[in-house]
A and B are shown apart, each in its own frame.
Chain A
């Protein structure tokens, strides 16, 4: 009767006591509901012979030899629980399409005894089971409701299915509420009937809103007398949806705050003929951050590309600490003398000590262990030079077709293991109109490939720069994105990804 065992199992696992047996009567599936009743676990039964749960040799012999011989039917049998307690269950046997697997549904007789109208047919037996479910369950031929359970009647506050058909609609889809956001199912989805759409996309979660309640829909296709029918279950997930929405809204708002920390495009244009920024947090918020700050006059700026510990919400918290230290550093520079030299290496040292101090990571017993890797680049248009210092973050410099890679120090910022008095190294580089720099966090360089699981790698980045350096940075950005996607394939991103590239606006007089 059930053509698709997988769907049947996933839909009714917790609600209906059922098993599937192989042709040699071994358990291949036992529903959670039956395990609970029998007090067994999956390990106790899967691969074991069906007779293990039959209470007597008589039952075993009768049932296995007479009943399970290619004939579907309904039987009343005694079963034995793990504790030794016996329970009587009405047992409905059917076969899968291949006629090789037995699907068996049980109903505890003690519950049936209280039912006034004792069922006599397979249809009535199934209907009794459906009536006991808390979720709304309907049977439909895709256009019209054929049967519904008690939960349906109670939810719609109608006395019978006939009343619903005459006064509300032929199909439950006439009650689906229109929702603009959130991919809610409507009567027609992209021109397709909703039942067909859900069956075609069975791996996805399908939500619908009815009378302000949100339901997850599961559909099982069945065939009876060559007619196609659908058993459709509506699980009430309203509370879960509300909790999800609350969390999503909070994180979305946090994302707006985090995004407000990144610089406006106009500021890049002041210092760059061309530029691009790839900033793709792995989650809604992330641990990567980039900042660009104008300093004491229009000619000088500082660029920070930072990869904080972790990603998601914890990573985002660390970026806020980094931003606050960065503001203090910028404030200190702005209040200083115009002639004071700026040293990115010293600034990394300030970050290192401040992070350790703020997060109380100056000793090994500290609970937290957060920090970052990253690079700071200082640019002064007046003398056409850049100074770079990196903490485990390389700088790629392409100048007139010659690519230089400045590796940066092999020392992170702020972590417990980081030395508070570590001295970072400044690298001074003369630039001209053809100089382009690239700074990337390790999310780009270390992304595992879909096929070989190898990291994208620094060599690949160098080869792309060597091949495309004469193209516009807009085109280079496309190449960097497409090659990265090609490498990653359908694999989930390992980490947040950030890459910043600038082709400098230089002072022609100073050249």
Chain B
């Protein structure tokens, strides 16, 4: 069963994403409220997938993605953010994130994308 680490500074956003992951039939191994904590948890938990916000205190989603990919080039990071700035989205995808989902979203949409991404391998 695929495992997920949820990194988002909003506890409401984390709650929503955790529920979506569980409803899609996968498991959540950890949640982090900022990029730095998220990076530390990634090293410790080695999840199959990460959902990542962009705007966060301490370490933002772009920098966190870069650090995780540097640590684990095979890391699979799904960006979930309300940021619409093209430069930021391009930067995080270039850093190694595999997908960007714009907030707000319906839970079913995140589930659909998770199933698609996981089935695609």
Instruction: Tell me the bound Cα distance from A276 to B82 in angstroms.
Output: 10
Mark out the residues of chain A between 257 and 278 whose CB falls within 8 Å of any chain B CB in the assembled complex: 259-260, 262, 265, 276, 278
Known contacts A255-B86, A259-B86, A279-B84, A190 near B120 by CB under 8 Å: yes
Main secondary structure of the interface of B (DSSP, over half): loop
Instruction: Tell me the bound Cα distance from A50 to B13 in angstroms.
Output: 61
Contact B87 A475 (CB under 8 A): no
Question: Which stretch from B4-12, B24-32, B43-51, B71-79 is at the chain A interface?
Answer: B4-12
CB distance from A265 to the nearest CB of B (A): 7
CB distance from A466 to the nearest CB of B (A): 17
CB distance from A272 to the nearest CB of B (A): 11
Known contacts A481-B103, A482-B104, A484-B104, A190 near B116 by CB under 8 Å: yes
Instruction: Tell me the bound Cα distance from A230 to B55 in angstroms.
Output: 49
CB distance from B90 to the nearest CB of A (A): 8
Contact B104 A262 (CB under 8 A): no
Instruction: Tell me the bound Cα distance from A485 to B11 in angstroms.
Output: 19
Known contacts A191-B119, A265-B55, A481 near B104 by CB under 8 Å: yes
Q: Which residues of A contact B9 (CB under 8 A)?
A: 472, 474
Contact B82 A260 (CB under 8 A): no
Q: Which residues of B contact A482 (CB under 8 A)?
A: 12, 16, 104
Instruction: Tell me the bound Cα distance from A482 to B10 in angstroms.
Output: 13
CB distance from A331 to the nearest CB of B (A): 25
Contact A477 B82 (CB under 8 A): yes
Q: Which residues of A contact B82 (CB under 8 A)?
A: 278, 280, 477, 481
CB distance from B15 to the nearest CB of A (A): 9
Q: Which of B13, B16, B116 contacts A474 (CB 8 A)?
A: B13
Contact B13 A256 (CB under 8 A): no
Contact B84 A280 (CB under 8 A): yes
Is A281 at the interface (CB under 8 A from chain B)? Answer: yes
Residue of B nearest to A474 (CB): B10
CB distance from A95 to the nearest CB of B (A): 39
Is A228 at the interface (CB under 8 A from chain B)? Answer: no
Q: Which residues of B contact A279 (CB under 8 A)?
A: 84-85
Is A479 at the interface (CB under 8 A from chain B)? Answer: yes
Instruction: Tell me the bound Cα distance from A191 to B117 in angstroms.
Output: 11
Is A132 at the interface (CB under 8 A from chain B)? Answer: no
Q: Which residues of A contact B87 (CB under 8 A)?
A: 256, 259-260
CB distance from B120 to the nearest CB of A (A): 7
Q: Which of B12, B85, B105, B120 contacts A479 (CB 8 A)?
A: B12
Q: Which residues of A contact B13 (CB under 8 A)?
A: 474-475, 478
Contact B86 A485 (CB under 8 A): no
Mask: chain B, 100-115; 1 = CB below 8 Å from A; 0 = not: 0001111000000000
Q: Which residues of A contact B11 (CB under 8 A)?
A: 472, 474-475
Is A252 at the interface (CB under 8 A from chain B)? Answer: yes
6 contacts between A and B (CB under 8 A): A256-B87, A259-B84, A262-B85, A477-B82, A478-B104, A482-B104
Binding site for A on B (CB under 8 A): 8-13, 16, 55, 60, 82, 84-87, 103-106, 116, 119-120
Please give 13 more A-B residue pairs, beta carbons under 8 A apart, in addition to A482-B16, A482-B104: A190-B116, A259-B86, A265-B55, A278-B82, A280-B84, A471-B12, A472-B11, A474-B10, A475-B11, A475-B13, A478-B12, A478-B104, A485-B106
User: Nearest 6 A-B pairs (CB), nearest first?
Assistant: A474-B10, A481-B104, A485-B104, A478-B12, A474-B9, A259-B85
